[in-house]
Amino acid sequence: MSWTSDYAAYFAGQGVRLRRLAYALGGDWHLAEDLVQHTFLQLFRHWKRLDPVTIDAYARRTLVNAYLSHKRDRRRETVLAEPPDRPAPPGADVAGRLDVRRALDELPPRQRVLIVLRHLEDVSTAEAAEILGITEGTVKSQTAHGLANLRRVLDPAVYSGELG
């Protein structure tokens, strides 16, 4: 099999997963498509040199770096997330998901990335540290800060002392 067919097979197999990750990071399907397109362009450019064992990690790192770069470039711009084009599955807690989406939007970019990687992508602490080029201790502390911030946004009454 040629390298181009290997690349095409990877694209077909991982495109949806990377789009889901990109949407979780950015909260916008258009941005997610741009991030995934950038990621696959980088994969294509370096495909022959990539180790098949680490391609997934390289793809995640590329996507996360593209997201963080986008956030640095657009700090002052407010983008409102659009709802997904498809209807929610029966029994889905749409209001809860929207609350989580809004809470994620309020996190600093690095904390958001870590929450998404650790809790949606189920990436290990070591992998997250490698993806972001930081220590495992920083991953742990930033993830803890991110979770605390999410809790504060999702249930402000508890954290303002109004309850209990």
Q: Which domain holds residue 48?
A: 1-77
Q: Are 39 and 63 in contact (CB under 8 A)?
A: yes
What is the per-residue pLDDT for 157?
57
Give the pLDDT confidence score for residue 27 in this predicted structure: 87
Residue closest to 123 by CA, chosen among 61, 37, 66: 61
Say yes or no: 99 and 142 in one domain. Answer: yes
User: Would you say residue 138 lies in a domain?
Assistant: yes
Q: What whole-number distance in Å separates Cα of residue 53 and Cα of residue 40? A: 17
Same domain, yes or no: 55 and 97: no
Looking at 53, 77, 101, the residue that finishes a domain is 77
Same domain membership, residue 65 and residue 109: no
**Average pLDDT of the segment spanning 52-74:** 90
pLDDT by residue (tens digit) across 136-150? 999 999 999 999 988
pLDDT tier at 44, thresholds 50, 70, 90: very high
Q: What is the CATH number of the domain that holds 121?
A: 1.10.10.10
pLDDT score, position 104:
84
Residue with the larger pLDDT of the pair 96 and 55: 55
Same domain for 64 and 119: no
Q: Verify that 51 and 98 share a domain, yes or no.
A: no
pTM exceeds 0.75 for this model: no
Residues 2 and 69 in one domain: yes
63, 1: one domain = yes
The total number of structural domains in the chain stands at: 2
